[in-house]
Chain A
């Protein structure tokens, strides 16, 4: 117990004397939050530039154009088809809506007038946001033209206790990222000690190996809690991000997440000989995970083929769990599933790390 305590204290002394490590641990996540906070603060309404080509000179064509103009997220600009299509190809427009000629005559003759939408399917927002909105608008116009009465309406009630802003979404994500990094880098001192023969030196003392590992893990856990405290504090004071969830659950998730990523880190670096060799492995795992696990962007906007990968990553579950607990965001998975998956990663990686970790 004496050697455990002294090793943990020694870890802290070493850590706080290393200014680079301190910066990356505490300032880096805050910078991330600052960037996202500034970029997405203020007017959070989104506008899509839509081109409109109106080939109909009747009142119906004018009515459709007006109806589209009233959609708050669309910014319409009228013009010729060729000009608008070029703008679409150049990325200046998100979609081009073409109202056909002679709508009145077509309808009078019992036909259907087709409104054409040109869009770029590789732009996920056009498929997922613009098209449904247009479809809804056209349905509404249809109903009015046919003079059908409204029989059913959809009443929207938010189940969230507050409106979730992007900053509310991003703070738990950044926290998840910090936990991943702090946990993952937990193995680095041990790799360094292995490389520099410190472990060998410790091996000739009565100190047990488990004490070495536990002291490292304990240090990381305390570090995560410190990191989270600062991060949540700044998010609250600067960006008014309210933590509305259960603090105890949050604490449990911090510990579970850190332990899970520590064990993944130990497994990933179980055989590397040098810190230089460990770094690319750590980056290779953490970077894709950071962008694929929906901690910066909602998982929903990711293309379908990548979803199985997303569903396999532990960070997805940590981010989802933290979001649920901290800001009561809509769950991707029930909290129990998130916790179970994280615990699964922890147990499996720990068992494998114990099996494969090379002390020398």
Chain B
């Protein structure tokens, strides 16, 4: 265990931001923490990183107590924060060099730049970087001390799909190297693909924690029929179809969960034919339930709300 959190509690005035949370992160895994904004994940992560102190509970990182030896822990962890605008008039190389200077042990700048595909922008001033380059720089800064545990806070938010995939391969490479990664993300697809385990947190409590596959299996034996229709059909009507376990409508996106996909699909098609909507059902397909579905079911919210 590289991170152990026991009965963590943190209040902000009358608000209980973290309400008795316990979990463990194992050596070498990518651990994902998911939750809507304000669920308590940022506070939890910041306590583990030593940025905040807990009201009660105990957190150990690499066997050391966060409350007692934060400096020793900070030598061995790397933290990426969302879009910090750091020393804009330094070049990428200079900034990484300043940060490398904070640690007893650090990687050569060239190696870190290579890892994050920043080779071509090493001599560029930070203020002239694109959004994607800035994001990669912020991850590079987290890896400059070759950390035992890397905390990445929504590392792919705002990146185009190409760069996002590059970032994923960086994280996968870290996992192969046996590094532990603590990831918070808004992208379920990302969590499903990268994380060995995820914890879903809401209202300051962990409401589910397991591998993405097990979570999906546990909460969804059913599959989903998904299509777009404008205007969307009435939810009540869809619920009368055979086999339907749940219906979710978000604007024109319709998802029908079913434990008998064949009969539900035929009922759906009949309904469309009867209403003269056959040509209007866009992007009709059947899919497996995803982590996004689990999240929606557990929190009642889409993750980006």
Q: Which residue on B lies nearest to A10, using beta carbons?
A: B98
Contacts of B151 in A (CB 8 A): 204
CB pair A206 B85 closer than 8 Å:
no
Given known contacts A3-B102, A203-B51, A205-B99, A196 and B74 CB-to-CB distance under 8 angstroms:
no
Q: Which residue on A lies nearest to B100, using beta carbons?
A: A6
Using a CB-CB cutoff of 8 Å, which residues 74-121 of chain B contact chain A? 74-75, 77, 79, 81, 84-90, 94-95, 97-99, 101-104
CB pair B81 A197 closer than 8 Å:
yes
Using a CB-CB cutoff of 8 Å, which residues 1-50 of chain A contact chain B? 2-3, 5-7, 10, 13-14, 17-18
B49 within 8 A of A: yes
Q: Which residue on A lies nearest to B82, using beta carbons?
A: A197
Given known contacts A6-B97, A13-B90, A197-B84, A204 and B102 CB-to-CB distance under 8 angstroms:
no
Residue interface mask A201-224, B partner, CB < 8 A = 1: 111111110000000000000000
B161 to chain A, nearest CB (A): 27
B155 within 8 A of A: no
B236 within 8 A of A: no
B71 within 8 A of A: yes
CB pair B49 A198 closer than 8 Å:
no
Give the CA-CA distance A234 to B50 in the complex, in Å: 51
Given known contacts A3-B101, A6-B98, A201 and B71 CB-to-CB distance under 8 angstroms:
no
Contacts of A3 in B (CB 8 A): 98, 101-102
Contacts of B89 in A (CB 8 A): 13-14, 17-18
A85 to chain B, nearest CB (A): 63
Contacts of B87 in A (CB 8 A): 10, 14, 198
B46 to chain A, nearest CB (A): 9
Residue interface mask B45-74, A partner, CB < 8 A = 1: 000011100000000000000000001001
B98 to chain A, nearest CB (A): 5
Q: Which residue on B lies nearest to A195, using beta carbons?
A: B85
Task: Choose one: B74, B81, B99, B103; the contact of A200 (CB below 8 Å).
Answer: B81
Contacts of B104 in A (CB 8 A): 206
Contacts of A17 in B (CB 8 A): 89, 125
A198 to chain B, nearest CB (A): 5
B14 to chain A, nearest CB (A): 21
A21 to chain B, nearest CB (A): 10
B233 to chain A, nearest CB (A): 46
Contacts of B125 in A (CB 8 A): 17
B292 to chain A, nearest CB (A): 29
Task: Choose one: A10, A13, A200, A207; the contact of B84 (CB below 8 Å).
Answer: A200
CB pair B50 A204 closer than 8 Å:
yes
Q: Which residue on A lies nearest to B73, using beta carbons?
A: A206
Give the CA-CA distance A13 to B87 in the complex, in Å: 10
CB pair B71 A206 closer than 8 Å:
yes
Given known contacts A203-B51, A204-B50, A204-B74, A198 and B103 CB-to-CB distance under 8 angstroms:
no
CB pair A198 B85 closer than 8 Å:
yes
A19 to chain B, nearest CB (A): 11
Contacts of B90 in A (CB 8 A): 10, 13-14
Q: Which residue on B lies nearest to A18, using beta carbons?
A: B89
Give the CA-CA distance A206 to B64 in the complex, in Å: 15
CB pair A207 B94 closer than 8 Å:
no
Residue interface mask B146-173, A partner, CB < 8 A = 1: 0000010000000000000000000000
Give the CA-CA distance A207 to B141 in the complex, in Å: 14
Using a CB-CB cutoff of 8 Å, which residues 275-296 of chain A contact chain B? none
Contacts of A7 in B (CB 8 A): 98, 101
Give the CA-CA distance A196 to B95 in the complex, in Å: 16
Given known contacts A3-B101, A7-B98, A196 and B84 CB-to-CB distance under 8 angstroms:
yes
CB pair A196 B85 closer than 8 Å:
yes
CB pair A206 B102 closer than 8 Å:
yes
Give the CA-CA distance A10 to B125 in the complex, in Å: 13
Contacts of A204 in B (CB 8 A): 49-51, 74, 77, 79, 81, 151
Give the CA-CA distance A195 to B247 in the complex, in Å: 44
Contacts of B49 in A (CB 8 A): 204
Task: Choose one: B50, B75, B84, B102; the contact of A198 (CB below 8 Å).
Answer: B84
Contacts of B51 in A (CB 8 A): 200, 203-204
Q: Which residue on A lies nearest to B75, using beta carbons?
A: A206
Question: Quick one: which of B71, B101, B125 has the most chain A CB within 10 A?
Answer: B101
Give the CA-CA distance A208 to B74 in the complex, in Å: 11
Question: Quick one: which of B50, B74, B89 has the most chain A CB within 10 A?
Answer: B89
Contacts of A203 in B (CB 8 A): 50-51
19 further A-B contacts with Cβ under 8 Å, apart from A13-B89, A201-B141, are: A10-B90, A13-B94, A17-B89, A196-B84, A200-B51, A200-B81, A201-B84, A204-B50, A204-B74, A204-B77, A204-B79, A205-B74, A205-B79, A205-B99, A205-B102, A206-B71, A206-B75, A206-B102, A208-B71
